[in-house]
Amino acid sequence: MEELIRLYHGDGGKHTALLIRELFYKYFGNEMLLQGLDAGVFHTAEGRLAFTTDSFVIKPLFFPGGDIGKLAVYGTTNDLAVSGAKPLYVSAGFIIEEGFKLDELERIVRSMRVACQETGACIITGDTKVVEKGAVDGIFINTSGIGIVDCAYCHKEVKPGDHIIVTGSIAEHGAAIALERYKIPVKGPFSSDCGSVYNIITQLKPYYSGIKLMKDPTRGGLATALNEISEREGMESNICEHAIPIRREVEGICRLLGLDPLYLACEGRVILVVDPDISSAVLQRIKSCENGMGACIIGSFTGRREEVVYLQTNIGGKRILNPLEGPMLPRIC
Amino acid sequence: MDTKRLITCLMEDIRKKTASELNLMEVCGTHTRAFFQSGIREMLPPSIRLLSGPGCPVCVTDEACIDAAIALLKEKDIHLATFGDMLRVRGTHESLSDQFGKRGNVSIAYSPLDCLALSKKLSGRQLVFLAVGFETTAPSIALAVKLAKENGIGNLSFLMALKRMPPVLHHILAAKRNRLHGIICPGHVAAVMGARYFSFIAQEYAIPAVICGFEAMDMACGIYMLTRQCNGQERSSLRNLYKTCVGDEGNATANKLLQEVFEVDEASWRGIGRIKDSAYVLSSRYKDFDALNRFCIRLSNPLPKSGCSCGDVIIGNILPYECRMFEVVCRPQNPLGPCMVSSEGSCAIYFNNGRVPMK
């Protein structure tokens, strides 16, 4: 491993995984952690609990469709939800730069409360630190969350033929952030999908036995999340370009900026791997939710023991979706 | 007939009628990426080899230019703005993102015109725009220079690294080392300069050329037209299949601006060397806005790095996979050469969208 920590060690891609495997697992490794899931799940006398944590260091702090506070609550409660857990309690740690505006902090905290109300979780502990100017960029927030896992749900082995479902149109958070970050003066309905997915997952209780796994495609987007699943399961997956839900405006802006929507973050979507016998029923149930109306079956696992994700393109060609290495920056021309 | 069937038919026809091996060069990085992402590369018969050309602005910007930008940042306390892709390209020793990480005095601009507003915000501090690109970005840069002069903006200047396409294509076609059979011209350059800008390819070198768009159907038709000419079904000529965007004469307003603000000079191309008449530099009327003049900075003559084959990749001598550093040492997170940096750089495109073929 290289001697210095670089920004790319934190981008959620290949190098983050390498750092986790080679350093954190080396010293912290235990059965629960080594499963590498969105939340650690452990047994208690009363049942299973899921525990997760996430830190939010985003720029800009406020964006169309949300802000760092909303993201901090949903980021953690969604990780619990995709682990099959009902989010119960959340902690909130704030590291604030001296000189940060109090009314902006209140806006952030207010939206954290709204997000908690929606998921039914409560913030029951917290911490506040203020650091000198320049030590952080505005505000960093860490949230941890604990939830109780539904007794009918567990993570299961993926089998050949299992279907892949995504619960709504992709890349909306990533596109909204890119427009803000690069100050692109384009007007249009660009808004982050930042929101809770817990309401969708509770609807799927009758089908838990046929749901193999769930994952929220946040950093690195759909393509990165599918690569992680393929790698974990040691199996090839195959998705169809024409089946992937994406809004035309988002597709258009990605073309303009030279960004690939398959690698842009979603903050209110879930990828589900589902037994093909129940996938239509699961899809219908997801579609009955307001934030699941755009859900689609986008592909399946093929059974080939190769850790690769293929995309069947609209014109009948084939493309490999490799895990992305390096950040995507807007192109020049 | 729907697009998918039509493309399948075209591919079938290409497969049937192409007996010999054909080397076709897509000059523009956007085409390279679109060929991968549409899946067309996988649909072509193995006898057709697609080679990337020198059409990625990041890939051809030489070390001396990055070094000059870094020298300005270090020695003159300026603020630098440039296109996002440029931040990660290394000069002789470091990249702009290293400087960016250290002091926060580098901004990403999506349009050079953003610099007019940014220069006001900097309240007197000098702003330098690192002006890279081809005939595509040149008009907006020309407009920014012109407006800066008209509005008397004294704290904005331009570090010029703009390049012109025809001289480098002459350089490649005259060398004949890569045995090119056809050229897919850069569609965006053609939109600005007009289709005739590329007519020399067929006229002087008797090599078929097409101008096509970036949709799967456009590119499939482009390759189909090239193979028809290569197979002798049609005579070699320049075919413009992108008439919705590309006229014969190009964009008159843009061309007028280019003529007013720039003049042509020799340029240094990374990995290739110096090519006559291949640079746009500021004309004498606008020399005051040249950052090198304003800050008395001279371009260095960096020695080419050993090991990296970017120069051979962008003139079609080798495929990215054929560089011995590809994937082994040179990766998007640790780019040795500029082709691995930009999302439009040929090596990065091959790395992110393909797999090294089994030997």
Q: Spell out the SS3 assignment of B231-268.
A: CCCCCCCEEECCCCCCCCCCCHHHHHHHHHHEEEEEEE
Size of interface A-B (CB pairs under 8 A): 117
Most B CBs within 10 A among A236, A241, A312, A315, hence the mutation to make, goes to A315
Residue B112 burial (10 A CB sphere; 0-12, 13-18, 19+): buried
CA–CA distance from A78 to each of A85, A115, A246, A312 (Å)? 9, 11, 21, 29
- Contacts B58 to A, Cβ<8 Å: 332
Contact across the interface for B132 and A331, Cβ inside 8 Å: no
- Helix ranges (H only) for chain B are 3-17, 29-38, 40-43, 57-60, 63-75, 96-103, 114-121, 138-150, 165-175, 187-193, 200-205, 216-230, 252-261, 291-294, 310-314, 346-353
Contact across the interface for B136 and A326, Cβ inside 8 Å: no
> Per-residue pLDDT for A115 more than 50?
yes
Contact of B36 with chain A, judged by CB distance below 8 Å, is answered with yes
What architecture is the A163-320 domain classified under in CATH? Alpha-Beta Complex (3.90)
Contact across the interface for B355 and A320, Cβ inside 8 Å: yes
For a pLDDT cut of 70, what percent of chain A falls above it? 97
CA–CA distance from B206 to each of A76, B53, B182, B211, B249 (Å)? 63, 18, 9, 16, 22
- CA nearest neighbour of B302 among B67, B105, B108: B67
Contact of B136 with chain A, judged by CB distance below 8 Å, is answered with yes
- In degrees and rounded to multiples of 5, residue B277 shows phi and psi of 60, 20
* pLDDT tens per residue across all 359 residues of chain B: 689 999 999 999 999 998 899 999 999 999 999 999 999 999 999 999 999 999 999 889 999 999 999 999 998 889 999 998 888 888 888 888 877 656 778 988 888 999 999 999 998 899 999 999 999 999 999 999 999 999 999 999 999 999 999 999 999 999 877 789 999 999 999 999 999 999 999 999 999 999 999 999 999 999 999 999 999 988 989 999 999 999 999 999 999 999 999 999 999 999 889 999 999 999 999 999 999 999 999 888 766 665 778 888 988 889 999 998 998 888 887 788 889 888 788 999 999 888 766 54
Contact across the interface for B40 and A315, Cβ inside 8 Å: yes
In the stretch 180-209 of chain B, residues with CB closer than 8 A to chain A read 188
Q: Please provide the distance, in angstroms rounded to a whole number, between the alpha carbons at the two ends of chain A.
A: 35
- Contacts B39 to A, Cβ<8 Å: 311-313, 315-319
Residue A89 burial (10 A CB sphere; 0-12, 13-18, 19+): middle
Which residues, including other chains, have CB under 8 Å from residue A66's CB and lie 6 or more apart? A111, A192, A194, A267
CA–CA distance from B27 to each of A64, A279, B255, B264, B315 (Å)? 38, 45, 21, 21, 9
Q: Which of B57, B110, B353 sits opposite A322 (nearest CB)?
A: B353
Half-sphere exposure of A284 (CA within 13 A, CB side): 5
Q: Which of A182, A330, A332 sits opposite B132 (nearest CB)?
A: A332
CB A226 within 8 A of CB A237: yes
Contact across the interface for B39 and A317, Cβ inside 8 Å: yes
- In degrees and rounded to multiples of 5, residue B282 shows phi and psi of -70, 135
Most A CBs within 10 A among B2, B8, B214, B343, hence the mutation to make, goes to B343
- CA nearest neighbour of B163 among B252, B262, B81: B262
CATH class of B60-164+250-294: alpha beta
Most A CBs within 10 A among B50, B110, B137, B141, hence the mutation to make, goes to B110
Per-residue model confidence (pLDDT) at position B357: 63
- CA nearest neighbour of B188 among B25, B24, B29, B311: B29
Most A CBs within 10 A among B134, B192, B340, B352, hence the mutation to make, goes to B352
- Contacts A324 to B, Cβ<8 Å: 352
- CA nearest neighbour of A84 among A214, A274, A279, A199: A214
Contact across the interface for A258 and B30, Cβ inside 8 Å: yes
The angle at the Cα of B335, spanning B27 to B88, to the nearest 5 degrees, equals: 85
Distance from CA of B83 to the nearest CA of A (A): 6
- As a 3-state breakdown, chain B gives helix, strand, coil percent values, each rounded to 5, of 45, 20, 35
What dihedral do alpha carbons B286, B288, B292, B293 form, nearest 10°?
120
In chain A, domain spans: 31-149, 163-320
Contact across the interface for B38 and A317, Cβ inside 8 Å: yes
Contact across the interface for A318 and B3, Cβ inside 8 Å: no
Distance from CA of A14 to the nearest CA of B (A): 10
Contact across the interface for A319 and B42, Cβ inside 8 Å: yes
Structure tokens at B117: 């507003």
Distance from CA of A134 to the nearest CA of B (A): 11
Distance from CA of B26 to the nearest CA of A (A): 15
> What is the CATH number that goes with domain A31-149?
3.30.1330.10
Per-residue model confidence (pLDDT) at position B359: 43
Per-residue model confidence (pLDDT) at position A37: 85
Contact across the interface for B41 and A182, Cβ inside 8 Å: no
* Residue of chain A minimizing CA distance to B344: A331
- Contacts B12 to A, Cβ<8 Å: none
> Per-residue pLDDT for A2 more than 50?
no
Distance from CA of A11 to the nearest CA of B (A): 11
* Residue of chain B minimizing CA distance to A323: B352
- Rounded to two decimals, the ipTM of the complex is 0.80
Contact of B45 with chain A, judged by CB distance below 8 Å, is answered with no
Name the band, by pLDDT with cuts 50, 70 and 90, for residue A324. confident
Q: Which of A260, A314, A332 sits opposite B85 (nearest CB)?
A: A332
pTM (predicted TM-score): 0.86
Chain A residue set in contact with B, beta carbons under 8 Å: 6-8, 14-15, 182-184, 257-260, 311-320, 322, 324-326, 328-333
Which residues, including other chains, have CB under 8 Å from residue B316's CB and lie 6 or more apart? B23, B25, B51, B52, B53, B172, B178, B180
> Per-residue pLDDT for A101 more than 50?
yes
Question: Which stretch of DSSP H or E encloses residue A330?
Answer: none
Question: Which stretch of DSSP H or E encloses residue B123?
Answer: none
- CA nearest neighbour of A114 among A67, A157, A149, A175: A67
Most A CBs within 10 A among B3, B37, B134, hence the mutation to make, goes to B37
Tell me how far apart the alpha carbons of residues B83 and B162 are, in angstroms, rounded to a whole number.
Answer: 13
Mean pLDDT value of segment A123-150? 96
Q: How far is CA B295 from the centre of its chain?
A: 27
Contact across the interface for B40 and A316, Cβ inside 8 Å: no
What dihedral do alpha carbons B328, B331, B334, B336 form, nearest 10°?
80
Per-residue model confidence (pLDDT) at position A25: 94
* Tens-place pLDDT, residues A57-70: 998 999 999 999 99
